[in-house]
C-alpha cells in the first residue's frame, strides 16, 4: 500500500512551533497509523550556522531582554526579501532532505520556513509531486505578525483565529486557500480532562496542595525564562488563602533555587516541577496562570478555562504582542511589569472574589469549540492528492478509550 510522506518544518524559537509539529505527528499516528509517515525537521538549527546562531540569539533575548527583540524582529523580516523565490541560508541541507525523503507534502509551522521553501520543494520534486501547507499559530495581526508567514503560492493556509486569518489575507494570502482551524494540541490534551472531583483529588494526592485554596500557576517556556522570584512575594501576603504551582522548564538553576526558597517559607503551599509533561493537567487545577504571551501556552489556558495574567517583565516581544492584544481586547486580560502590578491584581481578587469571577467570565467568552481532527484530515487529504492512496482512517476518541486517562491515573495512585 502507498504511504503518504509529510515533511514538517519547525524550529525551536520558543517552544510553540515544536509543540505544534509534535502534535501534528501524534495526531497523524492516532488517526492513520502507518498509512501516513511524518518526518519533523528542525530546519533552521540543522541547515546552517547563520540560522543556528539566530535561533540561539532569539532564545537568549527571550530569557534575558525581551525588549531587544523589537530590533531583532525587524532584521528577521528581511528574510521575506531574501527568500522570495528560494532558500538563502541552509539551502544545501534542505535540498538533501527533499531528495532523500521525497515528501508528498511540506508542512511549515514556523514563520521563517515558508517563503522560498515551498518554491524550492516544487522545483526539486516537481510541481505535481508535492503540495505545501502552513499552520500559523498567531492570535491576531499587526506589528509582530511576520511577513514570512505568508507565501501566496501555498496550497492551504491554516490560522488559529478569524482575526489572524483576516490579517493574512491583507498581507496577500488568497482567501480561498485560508482555513480557520483553532489550536494544534496533542491528543492527550483532548482526552485527559479532569472532572471537578478529579481536580480536587489531583491537587491533594498528586501535588500535595489544598483543594480549597486559590491556586496560581507560575509558568515558563521550555527554555526556563521566568520571573518567579518577583511574583512569589505578592502571593506570600495571602499565604492563608493562596497557593502556587511553579514550573521551571529546562532551567535547573531555577529549580534548585525554588526548592531552597520553598524550604525557607514553610507556611506557603507550593508545588515545584522542572520541565513538565502535564501542563494540561496543571492548568485544569489552577485558578489563574501567569505566563508570557506564548501562543501554545495561552491557547491551552483558554482551552482549559484558566484565566491569564500576562508576564510583561522586561517588555513584550513583537510576537507576544499579538497574543496580548487578542486577550486584552477580547477579554480585558491584564499584564504585570513588576511585583507591584501583580500585587494589585492579587490583592483585588483575594479581597473581592466577585472581581475574579467577572474576569474569568470575560475570559471564557473567547473560548471556541473545535474538532481537532479536521485540520489533520485536511492536510492528509492535500498530501493524498499526489499519492491517491486508500487510507484507513481510525475514529477518535479510540474505540477502546473513554477519555478518562487522567482519572484512571489518579485512581491508580
Kindly list the distances between the CA atom of residue 259 and the CA atoms of 76, 226, 349, in Å, as whole numbers in the listed order.
38, 15, 27
Question: What is residue 408's predicted lDDT score, i.e. its pLDDT?
Answer: 46
Question: What is residue 405's predicted lDDT score, i.e. its pLDDT?
Answer: 47
Question: What is residue 15's predicted lDDT score, i.e. its pLDDT?
Answer: 77
Query: For 382-391, what is the mean pLDDT?
Result: 95
Per-residue pLDDT band for 411 (boundaries 50, 70, 90) equals very low
Question: What is residue 319's predicted lDDT score, i.e. its pLDDT?
Answer: 83
Domain 190-364 is found in CATH 3.40.50.2000: yes
In the chain, the percentage of residues whose pLDDT exceeds 70 is: 93
Q: Is residue 364 over pLDDT 80?
A: yes
Question: What is residue 407's predicted lDDT score, i.e. its pLDDT?
Answer: 45
Mean pLDDT, the chain, rounded, equals 90
Q: Is the peptide bond before 397 cis (omega within 30 degrees of 0)?
A: yes
Q: What's the CA gap between 258 and 275, in Å, rounded?
A: 14
Which sign does the torsion angle of CA 342, 206, 221, 16 carry? negative
pTM: 0.89
Query: For 2-30, what is the mean pLDDT?
Result: 92
- pLDDT one-digit tens code per residue, 149-202: 999 999 999 999 999 999 999 999 999 999 999 889 999 989 999 999 999 999
Q: Is residue 377 over pLDDT 90?
A: yes
Question: What is residue 413's predicted lDDT score, i.e. its pLDDT?
Answer: 41
Q: Where in the chain is the domain with CATH 3.40.50.2000?
A: 190-364
Which CATH code of 3.40.1000, 3.40.50, 2.60.40, 1.10.3210 fits the domain covering 4-184+372-387? Answer: 3.40.50
Question: What is residue 58's predicted lDDT score, i.e. its pLDDT?
Answer: 76
In the chain, the percentage of residues whose pLDDT exceeds 90 is: 72
Question: What is residue 283's predicted lDDT score, i.e. its pLDDT?
Answer: 97
Per-residue pLDDT band for 80 (boundaries 50, 70, 90) equals low
- pLDDT one-digit tens code per residue, 229-281: 999 999 999 999 999 999 998 889 999 999 999 999 999 999 999 989 899 99
- pLDDT one-digit tens code per residue, 288-302: 999 988 898 999 999
Question: What is residue 170's predicted lDDT score, i.e. its pLDDT?
Answer: 96
Kindly list the distances between the CA atom of residue 179 and the CA atoms of 46, 193, 330, 349, in Å, as whole numbers in the listed order.
30, 27, 21, 38
Amino acid at each position: 500500500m502507498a504511504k503518504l510522506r509529510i515533511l514538517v518544518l519547525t524550529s525551536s524559537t520558543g517552544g510553540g512551533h515544536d509543540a505544534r509539529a509534535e502534535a501534528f505527528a501524534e495526531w497523524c499516528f492516532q488517526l492513520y497509523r502507518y498509512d501516513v509517515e511524518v518526518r519533523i525537521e528542525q530546519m533552521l538549527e540543522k541547515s546552517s550556522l547563520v540560522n543556528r546562531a539566530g535561533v540561539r540569539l532569539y532564545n537568549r533575548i527571550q530569557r534575558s531582554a525581551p525588549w531587544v527583540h523589537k530590533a531583532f524582529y525587524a532584521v528577521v523580516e528581511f528574510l521575506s526579501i531574501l527568500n522570495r523565490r528560494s532558500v538563502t541560508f541552509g539551502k544545501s541541507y534542505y535540498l538533501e532532505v527533499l531528495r532523500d525523503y521525497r515528501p508528498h507534502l511540506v508542512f511549515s509551522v514556523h514563520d521563517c520556513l515558508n517563503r522560498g521553501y515551498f518554491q524550492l520543494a516544487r522545483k526539486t520534486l516537481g510541481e505535481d509531486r508535492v503540495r505545501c501547507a502552513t499552520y500559523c499559530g498567531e492570535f491576531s495581526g499587526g506589528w509582530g505578525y511576520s511577513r514570512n508567514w505568508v507565501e501566496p503560492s501555498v496550497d492551504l493556509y491554516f490560522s488559529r483565529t478569524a482575526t489572524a486569518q483576516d490579517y493574512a489575507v491583507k498581507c496577500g494570502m488568497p482567501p480561498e486557500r485560508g482555513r480557520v482551524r483553532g489550536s494544534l494540541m496533542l491528543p492527550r490534551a483532548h482526552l485527559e480532562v479532569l472532572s471537578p472531583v478529579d481536580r480536587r483529588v489531583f491537587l491533594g494526592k498528586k501535588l500535595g496542595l489544598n483543594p480549597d485554596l486559590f491556586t496560581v500557576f507560575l509558568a515558563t517556556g521550555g527554555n526556563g525564562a521566568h520571573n518567579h522570584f518577583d511574583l512569589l512575594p505578592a502571593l506570600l501576603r495571602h499565604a492563608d488563602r493562596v497557593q502556587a504551582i511553579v514550573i521551571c522548564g529546562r532551567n535547573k538553576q531555577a529549580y534548585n533555587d525554588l526548592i531552597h526558597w520553598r524550604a525557607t517559607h514553610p507556611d506557603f503551599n507550593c508545588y515545584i516541577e522542572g520541565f513538565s509533561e502535564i501542563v494540561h493537567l496543571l492548568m485544569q487545577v489552577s485558578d489563574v496562570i501567569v505566563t508570557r504571551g506564548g501562543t501554545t501556552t495561552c491557547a491551552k489556558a483558554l482551552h482549559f478555562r484558566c484565566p491569564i495574567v500576562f508576564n510583561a517583565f522586561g517588555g513584550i516581544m513583537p510576537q507576544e504582542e499579538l497574543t496580548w492584544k487578542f486577550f486584552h481586547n477580547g477579554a480585558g486580560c491584564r499584564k504585570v511589569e513588576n511585583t507591584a502590578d501583580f500585587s494589585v491584581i492579587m490583592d483585588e481578587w483575594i479581597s473581592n472574589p466577585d472581581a475574579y469571577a467577572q474576569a474569568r467570565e470575560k475570559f471564557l467568552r473567547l473560548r471556541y469549540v473545535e474538532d481537532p481532527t479536521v485540520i489533520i484530515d485536511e492536510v492528509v487529504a492535500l498530501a493524498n492528492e499526489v499519492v491517491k492512496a486508500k487510507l484507513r482512517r481510525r475514529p477518535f476518541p479510540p474505540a477502546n478509550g473513554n477519555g478518562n486517562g487522567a482519572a484512571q491515573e489518579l485512581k491508580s495512585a
